[in-house]
């Protein structure tokens, strides 16, 4: 079951594409926008994260931190980040614990792959409460970026 608006966001410690440990608690006192995505270098995932990249100045202006999380290795994420010029951290949930804690996890995905992050978006407020939650069952769908922006602005 995925998390709902009003729930306390589970903390996590994951390695970034720069091989630095990053925790949700590192961003206490600001809004955090968490984007889970199935796989680097795929069309819809790139579209999802490029939307955040291209709107990055808005998020900086409202003191919001953007994070991307997938089950890809930190090394794959580093190449993906460099290729697409993402300004925000990409975090490796290689052990799949964070995706599962947020209810953003496919036990079985396409082509017989098992254990992949679902496409999902969460906004966590300065107090660690979830103020927006969207977990998509269809990996071809995109999060509602306008709704995310509206929540962050409020």
CB neighbour burial string for 138-153, b if at least 16 within 10 angstroms, e if fewer: ebeeebeeeebbebbe
**Per-residue pLDDT at 50:** 93
The domain locations on the chain are: 35-135
Range 35-135 has CATH code 3.40.30.10: yes
Q: Hey, which residues does 134 pair with through a beta bridge?
A: 121
More confident residue, 108 or 79: 79
Dist. CA 137–CA 141, nearest whole Å: 8
**% of the chain exceeding 90 in pLDDT:** 75
- 50 carries an active-site annotation: no
Show the DSSP H helices in the chain as ranges: 43-54, 56-61, 74-84, 97-101, 145-153
Examine the pLDDT at 12 and tell me if it is beyond 60: yes
**% of the chain exceeding 70 in pLDDT:** 97
The tens digit of pLDDT for each residue in 119-148 reads: 999 999 999 999 999 999 888 899 999 999
Q: Dihedrals φ, ψ of 109, to 5°?
A: -115, -160
Q: Measure Cα distances from 127 to 100, 117, 124, 130, 153 in Å.
A: 22, 25, 8, 9, 16
Q: Hey, which residues does 70 pair with through a beta bridge?
A: 92
CA nearest 120: which of 50, 39, 38?
A: 38
**Per-residue pLDDT at 99:** 95
**Per-residue pLDDT at 1:** 56
What predicted TM-score, i.e. pTM, was given to this entire model?
A: 0.93
Q: Measure Cα distances from 8 to 36, 73, 102 in Å.
A: 17, 27, 11
Kindly tell me the number of DSSP H helices and DSSP E strands found in the chain: 5, 9
The DSSP line for 47-64 is HHHHHHHHTHHHHHHTTE
Q: What mean pLDDT, rounded, does the chain reach?
A: 92
Selecting among 3, 14, 39, 45, the annotated active-site residue is: 45
**Per-residue pLDDT at 78:** 97
The tens digit of pLDDT for each residue in 19-55 reads: 999 999 999 999 999 999 999 998 898 899 999 999 8
């Amino acid at each position: 079951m995925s998390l709902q608006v009003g729930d306390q966001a589970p903390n996590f410690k994951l390695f970034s594409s720069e091989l630095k440990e990053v925790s949700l608690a590192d961003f206490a006192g600001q809004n955090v926008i968490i984007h889970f995505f199935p796989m680097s270098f795929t069309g819809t995932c790139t579209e999802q994260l490029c939307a955040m990249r291209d709107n990055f100045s808005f998020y900086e202006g409202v003191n919001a931190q953007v994070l991307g999380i997938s089950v890809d290795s930190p090394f794959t994420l580093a190449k993906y980040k460099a290729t697409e010029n993402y300004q925000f951290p990409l975090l490796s949930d290689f052990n799949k614990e964070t995706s599962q804690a947020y209810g953003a996890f496919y036990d079985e995905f396409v082509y017989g792959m098992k254990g992949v992050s679902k496409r999902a978006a969460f906004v966590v407020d300065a107090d660690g409460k979830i103020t927006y939650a969207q977990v998509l069952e269809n990996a071809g769908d995109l999060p509602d970026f306008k709704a995310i922006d509206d929540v962050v602005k409020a």
